[in-house]
Structure 1
Amino acid sequence: MATTIQDVIDVMEQFAPPSLAFPNDPVGLQVGRTDRPVRRVWLALDASCAVIEQAAAAQADLLITHHELFYRPLPKLDTSTWRGRAIATAILHDLTIYAAHTNLDVTEGGVNDVLAERLGLKDVEILDRMKNEQLRKLVVFVPTTHAEAVRDAVCSAGAGHIGQYSHCTFNTPGTGTFLPLAGTQPYIGQVGSITATDEVRIETVVPASQTERVIRAMLEAHPYEEVAYDLYPLEIMGRPYGIGRVGNLPAPTSLGVFADQVRQSLGLTHIRFGGNPDLLVERVAVLGGSGGRWVAKAIEQGAQVLVTSDCDHHVVAEAWEEGLAVIDATHAALERPVLERVKSVIDQAFGHSLQVTIADVHEDPFHWI
């Protein structure tokens, strides 16, 4: 069975659930359809004309971007504008465009974790916690012959995670009874006769964002025509999610030296920073994209420097007055490294059966002289 665009989107949404996106952030499908086969996937920060034209020329089926093509509502489709031309080109070449924006910033292993790894931070924590994953309790009754298969199916689909442990379930043996009525095709027993069989009650926790995927896997693995299961909301807090990361350097270093390390790690020719070059830096906050709003949170978390982008004069000056240095790299340089992680996620899911390409396009609008 051919892999479809929806299959790739399902993998993306397991990695970066849309539920993690900021309110009013229009992540997800931007242009096209998801029900057709996919062979070539392109990755980019922006759905620019150059990216779309190159993806179309390469006969790509799906373009996954970080920034949305429709971040703000489009009042009309004017093909004399760059956005109108981009949309027209995508439609003409049947190129589907999908965006993972702030959900890719927030998710574990996304933009900010990649950035923290790139800068060598240790003991990394969330900079600003936004929410905790809602949890549900799944209970399903399975014949003993299929208990192992159903347990493996639901846990492989995302259930059963408690902290750093996976495949966490509780299993209680018992007896299930049922009476198959006319028109049924029972896996066990006969129509018109009450049947009693050995079953296992399997209990496990399910992240709310993975519920549909887990239930689908459970139903596919279960042998019964009609599956008896329960789903309960839980009051306990699941995995925390939030924007930005904060962590420690392997060894204290001066702000000037660390700023140059950031420049080199991001492949920049120049970088700017605000603060005393001799300031001793031990704890670092990072936030890919525009992070000036998180100055106070970085100070609260004990950071001596915030690595982010798009900070204006007043933000940096006031941060330094409070004792926080700011390293302001370019927006694109901070976010582009995540594309390698997205490529790895897709490659791992599909075993390199898809051709996944990171667009070789200069996406940073800034040049340095």
Structure 2
Amino acid sequence: MSVTCGCVIKIMEKLAPISLALDWDNVGLQMGSPNEKVRKILVTLDITTDVVDEAVEMGADMIVAHHPLIFKPLDRIRSDTHIGSNLSKLVKNDIQVYVAHTNLDRSAEGVSHHLAKALGLNNLEVLDAGGPKLYKIVVFVPKGYEDSIRDAMGKAGAGWIGNYSHCTYQVAGTGTFKPLAGADPFIGSTGELEKVEEYRLETIVPQHFKKQVLKAMMEAHPYEEVAHDIYPLGNKQWNTGLGILGYLGAPMTLEDFANKVKDELDIGYLKIVGLPQEQVQKVAVCGGSGGNLISLAKDCGAHVYLTGDVGYHEALDAREMGLNIVDAGHNATEKLIIPALKHYLREELRGEDVIINTSKIDTNPWDTI
């Protein structure tokens, strides 16, 4: 079976559903067609001129990136600008571009999750829980069809709670209806009131699966007119959101923790807020720019917060509230996701004739002197 760009998109959106992306973000397929065949994929954090040239030299059919190539709407594309030149090269070489940004940040197996794993944190939980809007779907099913309809809805994405699938609740009751002229009833006769033994079957579904779950439900249901209800829910998904909270195996000083971060992220420098000899064990992490979660990290009882791009005033606030900060930079706190994505795609495409490479370009724009 030949792999298409659309196949890769489905695999990526199983890991990081589009519905997890923040409203201001621009994610998904940014260039190309889902129908294009894909034999070579380049995985990268950023799409820079050097990365585009690398993709061309590799003969890549598709780039999978974390940061968007196109963030804001373009009013012109000029080849004498870096963005226009890169877009022209991508079009000329028929390279598809797919982006998973804040949806990957908020994924259950996303950026911060891999950062926490690299540091050996345990007892992990989401720092700022959130996720796609959830709905409860209730459908009324004639006795004998409850299992097949439950299975169809479950396979379409309904009833997933944590590590459990096909989660439903059912209760028996009696349904009534009177077929009118023009009806083609599965049970009963025109003009006669029917009383049927039925089950109320209910389950939950995230917004991005709602359409396909309803389609599967309708196709599996024997009735001409399917009685069902859809309720929006206020529940938050416990395993998706921004940042991770966890614990070191044993307390250590802030200085030792900072050195551990440097070793694990393979960086030569970082910045800290706090006393180097202060003991830390409960750790909050957020890959990328996480300064806006400082107050939440403090409220959750973190001893230290690891992130990147902390602003001057955010650092002042952290010091005032007594929260230790380790700022290892945007690039360093996110780059672990790139080999993780390569591994994920390779496992999902096992047996397919697809080459998957990670970019060799260091896209971090910062140097120290």
Matching residue of 2:75: 75
Structure 1: which amino acid aligns with 2:116?
A
Change (3 A) 1:215 1:3: farther
For 1:248 and 1:104, how far apart are their aligned partners in 2?
A: 23
Contact 1:275–1:326 (Cα < 8 Å) also in 2? yes
| Aligned residues with identical type, % of pairs | 35
Verify the 8 A CA contact 1:307 1:329 in the aligned structure 2.
yes
Cα offset, 1:258, TM superposition = 0.5
2: CA distance between counterparts of 1:113 and 1:238? 18
Cα distance change of structure 1 residues 132 and 78 upon mapping to structure 2, 3 Å threshold: closer
Q: Secondary structure of 2:276's partner?
A: coil
Q: CA 1:333–1:21 in structure 2 vs 1: closer, same or farther (change >3 Å)? A: same
Of 207, 213, 231 in structure 2, the residue corresponding to residue 233 of structure 1 is: 231
Separation of aligned partners in 1, 2:178 and 2:204: 27
Contact 2:116 2:285 (C-alpha < 8 Å) held by counterparts: yes
**SS at 1:75 equivalent:** coil
Letter matched to residue 18 of structure 2: P
Show CA shifts across 1:122-155 (max 9, x none).
Answer: 22222234x4543223356789898656544432
Paired position in structure 2 for 1:7: 7
1:149–1:23 Cα change, 3 Å: same
Query: CA separation of 1:256/1:10 partners in 2, compared to 1, >3 Å: closer, same or farther?
Result: same
How has the CA–CA distance of structure 1 residues 9 and 278 changed in structure 2, closer, same or farther, with 3 Å as cutoff? same
Q: TM-score, normalised by structure 2?
A: 0.83
Q: Note the C-alpha offset of 1:60.
A: 2.1
> CA separation in 1, counterparts of 2:217 and 2:356?
30
Cα distance in 1 for residues equivalent to 2:142 and 2:31 = 45
The corresponding residue for 2:107 is 107
The question of whether the paired residues in 2 share the 8 Å contact of 1:316 and 1:325 is answered with no
- Which sits farther off after the overlay, 3-12 or 111-120? 3-12
* Offset of residue 164 of structure 1: 4.0
Q: Describe the shift of the 1:42–1:202 C-alpha distance in structure 2 as closer, same or farther (beyond 3 A).
A: farther
* Offset of residue 352 of structure 1: 4.5
Alignment of 1:138-287 (within 5 A): 138-139=137-138, 151-170=150-169, 202-215=201-214, 222=220, 228=226, 230-240=228-238, 241-287=240-286
What letter corresponds to residue 55 of structure 1 in structure 2?
A
2:25 equivalent in structure 1: 25
Q: Check 1:229–1:10 CA distance in 2 against 1; reply closer, same or farther (3 A cut).
A: farther
SS at match of 2:67: coil
Relative to structure 1, the CA distance from residue 137 to residue 300 in structure 2 (aligned partners, 3 Å threshold; closer, same or farther) is closer
Report Cα offsets for 1:265-297 as digits up to 9, x if no partner: 111123332221101001111111112222222
C-alpha distance in structure 1 between counterparts of 2:225 and 2:62, whole Å: 36
- Point out where structure 1 has 5 or more consecutive residues left out of the alignment: none
Which residue of structure 2 aligns with residue 321 of structure 1?
A: 320
Q: CA deviation at 1:259?
A: 0.4
1:14–1:165 Cα change, 3 Å: same
Distance 1:76 1:236, change over 3 A: closer
CA distance in 2, matches of 1:232, 1:223: 16
Whether the 8 Å contact between 2:149 and 2:221 is mirrored in structure 1 is no
More deviation, 319-328/154-163:
154-163
In 1: Cα distance, 2:37 partner to 2:176 partner: 42
Pairwise CA distance, 1:247: 1.9
Q: Distance in 2 between matches of 1:11 and 1:172?
A: 36
Work out whether residues 285 and 307 of structure 1, in 8 Å CA contact, stay in contact via their aligned partners in 2: yes
- Distance across 2 between alignment mates of 1:199 and 1:344: 47
Q: Structure 1 residue 368: deviation in Å? A: 4.4
Deviation, 1:177, is 11
- 2:218 and 2:355 mapped to 1: Cα distance? 31
Give the C-alpha shift of residue 312 in structure 1. Answer: 3.8
Counterpart of 1:363? 363
Output the CA distance in 1 between the equivalents of 2:261 and 2:367. 18
Moved more, 56-65 or 280-289: 56-65
Q: Which moved more, 1:346-355 or 1:16-25?
A: 346-355
Cα displacement (A) at 1:235: 3.4
DSSP-derived class of the 1:360 partner: coil
Q: How many residues align?
A: 365
TM alignment of 1:306-345, pairs within 5 A: 306-345=305-344
Match of 2:246, SS state, is strand
Q: Please give the alpha-carbon distance, in whole angstroms, between the structure 2 residues aligned to 1:153 and 1:358.
A: 37
Residues 211-256 of structure 1, C-alpha deviations (whole Å, 9 max, x = no match)? 2343455577x49797847351243514144322222211110000
Distance 2:216 2:344 in 1: 20
CA distance in 1, matches of 2:225, 2:91: 42
Instruction: Name the residue aligned to 1:60.
Output: 60
Q: 8 Å contact 1:207–1:238 — kept in the other structure?
A: no
**Partners of 2:87 and 2:337 in 1: CA distance:** 24
Q: TM-score, normalised by structure 1?
A: 0.83
